[in-house]
Amino acid sequence: MKDAINRRNALIGMGATVALTAAPLNVFAASHATVHEVLMLNKDPDDSSKKMLFSPYMLEVNVGDTVKFVPSDKGHNSESIKGMLPKGAAKWKGKINKEVEVTFDIPGFYGYQCKPHANMGMIGLIVVSGEGKLDNLEDAKGAKQRGKAKKAWKKLWEEADAAGLTS
């Protein structure tokens, strides 16, 4: 009987050890989410001919990562574009001159804009890697755009294709 109790205690001890070591691994994995910053600018600091832009305007992130949109210059916001989000993804709409943080939990393509300057081409793309990333690609590419945003999106999609983000 003494041997049975020892085996039982050993099994209980092993179970407790597994439980205690598994929990920190889950916490550790969750703590590896990254926060990326996107600046909202009146002009590119490296090329003054480029005006009203997000920097970077194209970003690849992982599921669970957060993007913080920072109004480095006044008069800007960040908001998602209708038709340019994966199914089930939450839209966002930041206030003018205010930071907004968005956490991305669904793989896919997320188009965003500065509402006051979208017609001037102030747009951006976030690609969230993972299973199902390509599910909303055609919808995102087909979303209607106006003004300079139409030309800016054409260029951005070409860059995304060249970078291998759309395959």
Q: What pLDDT is attached to residue 6?
A: 59
φ, ψ of residue 126 to 5 degrees: the values are -120, 130
Instruction: Spell out, as residue ranges, where the chain has pLDDT lower than 50.
Output: 1, 11, 15-30
- Where in the chain are the domains? 1-32, 35-162
Q: What pLDDT is attached to residue 140?
A: 98
Q: What pLDDT is attached to residue 18?
A: 44
Q: What pLDDT is attached to residue 32?
A: 77
**73 contact partners, CB below 8 Å, separation of at least 6:** 40, 41, 42
d(CA 10, CA 39): 56
Please say whether the structural domain 35-162 has been given the CATH code 2.60.40.420: yes
Q: What pLDDT is attached to residue 7?
A: 57
Q: What pLDDT is attached to residue 24?
A: 45
Q: What pLDDT is attached to residue 115?
A: 96
Tokens of 142: 């087909």
